[in-house]
Structure 1
Amino acid sequence: MSASPWLVLAAAALEAAFDYPDALHRRVPHPVVWIGTLISTLEARLNRPDFSEALRRVLGVLTLLIIVGVSGLAGWLITKFGGPWAVVIVGVVGLAQRSLYDHVRAVAKPLRAGDLQSARTAVGMIVGRDTARLDESGVAAAAIESLAESFCDGVVAPIFWFVVAGLPGLFVYKAVNTADSLIGHREPRWRRFGWASARFDDLLNLIPARLAGVLVAVAGRGGWTAMWRDSGKHSSPNAGWPEAAMAGALGVQLGGPAWYDGEVSNRPVLGQGRAPDAGDVARALKVYLAACAILWLMLAAGGLAWRH
């Protein structure tokens, strides 16, 4: 059940223009909230500490099957009974072009104005590291890394699966990506239960992450060397592609040591050059917009070639 690239492009344009309005969110929570509630409920009931590790892994697989089934069925029903315009309108909720741009711009503005505390607060909305320790360069790096990684998770991958498998594909991707965020952790509580969700999310992002890296390199007119050299250094099999490409395109270093919950994580360095600053966040946003524009052109080209 693939979707016409024209429908996907229409949904992308609507999301870029309007996002998911706050007034609507107050009345009807974003669907990601719904699937997040389902995942949290299943985790609370099935991921019991008195269960064996083997049983918790099996129940984690069951949880993944449930959320994939529920989300895929919802997408199929909307497509079946709602028609093309329902696909376009509902498809908006699976994309995050506008919200990602707005969140990173909210970091760039106070950082350029020298308001480090406000910049730390803003970047804390999009990253999980300890922001109180971050200086200007640390805030800039965190924002750029989040922008690059989320370009895959929030833009390229949803659009890819929307085209390939229609609204069911988009919904399944968002559900699995949400599950990975909530339970796909390596801490003892989630290591076994969230294993299936984390691995399936890696699989779903395999092609989109590499496509995202290529788009960033094309949009930034550079970054190819850094992408090929450094992408494999990242702990994630996918996140390193767009992050390394962005580091190379900007001529800065990303990665390196970062603090999480009071403990330092010695992450590998991506890219070569100086540490990023406030101006680089603004440059990264320009690269991001250009990469989104190229993706839209690809959808338009696909629409012209579409036969269904």
Structure 2
Amino acid sequence: MADAPPWPWVVALALALEAALGYPAWLLRLAPHPVAWPAALIEILELGWNRPAFGDQGRRFLGVAVMVIVAGLAIGLGLVLHRALAGHWLGVLAIALIATVGLAQRSLHQHVAAVLTALRADDIPTARVALAMIVGRDTERLGAHEIAAAALESLAESFNDGVVAPAFWLLVGGLPGLFAYKAVNTADSLIGHREPRWRMFGWAAARADDVMNLVPARIAGPLIALAAGRGWAIMFRDARLHASPNAGWPEAAMAGGLAVRVGGEARYEGVTKLGAALGDGPAPTTLDLERGLSLYRRACVLLWMILLMIGLIARLAR
């Protein structure tokens, strides 16, 4: 790629393009978001293969097969596109544009901003509906503080899942790496659950997602703390308390950066689950959610700047 820019600059360009453009509404009317394609395949395979008649071990094996098929197809498509386009400026620009479909800076900001707008208007029913678009928990009974806390948790976790992790895998693996991550992350969101129906069939999806987020989550947390100028102690202390091996890093950093408390009790499909509380502060308010969105934007910009610096170092080292 002698005629192409340093690869970290391409990743930074993809992030900037996605932040500016997102997935335009006019394009969505013409074609579903590309993430819908592996999702549809996973749902078809789950319907046919996740049957009690196959037994626990059989369902686990078939769940592994689903991941091999879905991730394999994603990697294959990524390889074809990457090899066809990489090596010159115009092709690299096309790669950056294609890569925007695997990033979610803009859509995440829009979804959380919708929750914030409703809370500012003291419209709790609308805030609950907006929150339900980004969380898996029950939202019907949540008050303003609980809505703000849940939105901040989702914002922090999705900063990793929708921004840092896909950017990381794009950086280290090009389009094949990005597409593989999105396939695994989509599978985890659909079948990587602990409920009896998915526990065995979704085992491979959940474990693969944990592995692929291991490094990115430990980048996302420090980025939030760095953007906040504080929260390091809370992050290192509380990250391990989270049920997820990865989500605790950005969530604890967000709690520490805003000096609030998130986590704790939540209801899923009518069942109350008690999670660990992260942070030492009070329950978040609407103002804290606004501050959280601002912190999220700064963390995104920091990620861009780091990529540009890495690219500059790579260019000077040539």
Give TM class, smaller chain.
over 0.9
- RMSD over aligned Cα atoms: 1.2
Q: Give CA deviations for 1:61-85 in whole Å, capped at 9, x if unaligned.
A: 1111111110001111111223323
Which range moves more in the overlay, 175-184 or 51-60? 51-60
Name which of structure 1's ranges 139-148 and 122-131 shifts more when overlaid on structure 2: 122-131
Residue 20 of structure 1: how far off its partner (Å): 0.3
Q: What is the aligned partner in structure 2 of residue 184 from structure 1?
A: 192
Residue of structure 2 equivalent to 1:287:
295
Size of the aligned set, in residue pairs, is 307
* Percent identical: 56
Distance in 2 of aligned mates of 1:18 and 1:114: 30
- 1 CA distance for matches of 2:34 and 2:94? 15
Cα distance in 1 for residues equivalent to 2:135 and 2:161: 14
Of 38, 42, 46 in structure 1, the residue corresponding to residue 45 of structure 2 is 42
The aligned amino acid for 2:28 is H
Q: 1:89 aligns with which of 97, 109, 112?
A: 97
CA distance in 1 between partners of 2:196 and 2:45 (Å): 17
Question: Is 1:253 paired with 2:291?
Answer: no
Counterpart amino acid of residue 22 in structure 1: A
Residue in structure 2 matched with residue 224 of structure 1 by the alignment: 232
Cα deviation, 1:85-109, whole Å, max 9, x if unaligned, reads: 3211110100000000110011011
Distance (Å, rounded) in 1 between the aligned partners of 2:313 and 2:64:
39
| Alignment pair present for 1:74 and 2:74 | no
Matched, 1:130 2:144: no
Instruction: For residue 113 of structure 1, report the CA deviation from its aligned partner.
Output: 1.8
Paired position in structure 2 for 1:58: 61
1:249-273 CA distance string (max 9 Å, x none): 1111000111111111111100001
Q: Which residue of 1 aligns with 2:88?
A: none
What does residue range 1-308 of structure 1 map to in structure 2 within 5 Å? 4-82=7-85, 83-306=91-314
Q: Does the 8 Å CA contact 1:78/1:86 hold for their aligned counterparts?
A: no
- Rounded to whole Å, the distance in 1 between the matches of 2:301 and 2:84 is 31
Runs of at least 5 residues in structure 2 that lack an aligned partner in the other structure: 86-90
Cα distance in 2 for residues equivalent to 1:269 and 1:278: 19
Say whether the 8 Å CA contact 1:152–1:209 is kept in structure 2.
yes
Code of the residue aligned with 2:47 in structure 1: it is A
Normalized against structure 2, the TM-score is what?
Answer: 0.94
Q: How big is the shift at 1:197?
A: 0.9
Aligned residue identity for 1:167: L
Query: Residue by residue, what CA displacement relative to the aligned partner does 1:7-63 show, whole Å, maximum 9, x if unpaired?
Result: 111111110001001110121111100010011111112112211111111111111
**3-state DSSP of counterpart to 2:140:** helix
Deviation of 1:306 after TM superposition, in Å, equals 2.3
Q: Within 2, Cα distance between the matches of 1:42 and 1:155? A: 28
Runs of 4+ deviating beyond 6 Å: none
